[in-house]
């Protein structure tokens, strides 16, 4: 590095220090957001509400609810067709809750970043 390059780097040192400070603040803010998201829940459903899944902001399934008519129908003959239908509904409800959890994460990240939409930033909060 020539003298000019060294002087230019030296001149930018305070900016670099500020950038590292800001990165530390953002890291702390991200940890706080993770804690807040763990306490929030979203719900997804399938089969016109016959299957409901509650998921937290860390994308962990907290609860699965099946409505009584669906359970009664399954208790009838318990056929493989019925079982397969319920399995598909549960998967659809989990996917719906996961999509809502991702939306929640994106909203919280935008709020934390002052409304800026930074592509890929929500990936820093990937689940457990």
Where do the domains of the chain lie, and which CATH numbers do they carry? 3-125 (3.30.1310.10)
pTM for the predicted model, two decimal places: 0.60
Asked whether residue 121 carries a pLDDT value surpassing 50, the answer given is yes
127 pLDDT higher than 50: no
Q: Which among 113, 124, 107 is positioned nearest to 22, based on CA atoms?
A: 113
Residues 106/122, Cβ–Cβ less than 8 Å: yes
Q: Is the pLDDT of residue 43 over 90?
A: yes
More confident call, 97 vs 19: 97
Instruction: Tell me what pLDDT residue 117 has.
Output: 63
């Amino acid at each position: 590095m020539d003298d000019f390059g060294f002087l230019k780097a030296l001149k930018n040192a305070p900016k670099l220090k500020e950038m590292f400070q800001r990165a530390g603040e953002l890291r702390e803010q991200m940890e706080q957001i993770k804690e807040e998201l763990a306490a929030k829940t979203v719900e997804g459903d399938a089969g016109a509400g016959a299957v409901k899944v509650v998921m937290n902001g860390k994308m962990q399934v907290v609860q699965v609810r099946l409505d009584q008519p669906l359970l009664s129908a399954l208790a009838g003959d318990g056929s493989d067709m019925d079982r397969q239908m319920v399995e598909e509904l549960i998967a659809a409800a989990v996917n719906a809750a996961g999509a809502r959890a991702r939306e929640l994460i994106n909203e919280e990240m935008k709020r934390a970043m002052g409304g800026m939409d930074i592509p890929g930033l929500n990936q820093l909060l990937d689940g457990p």
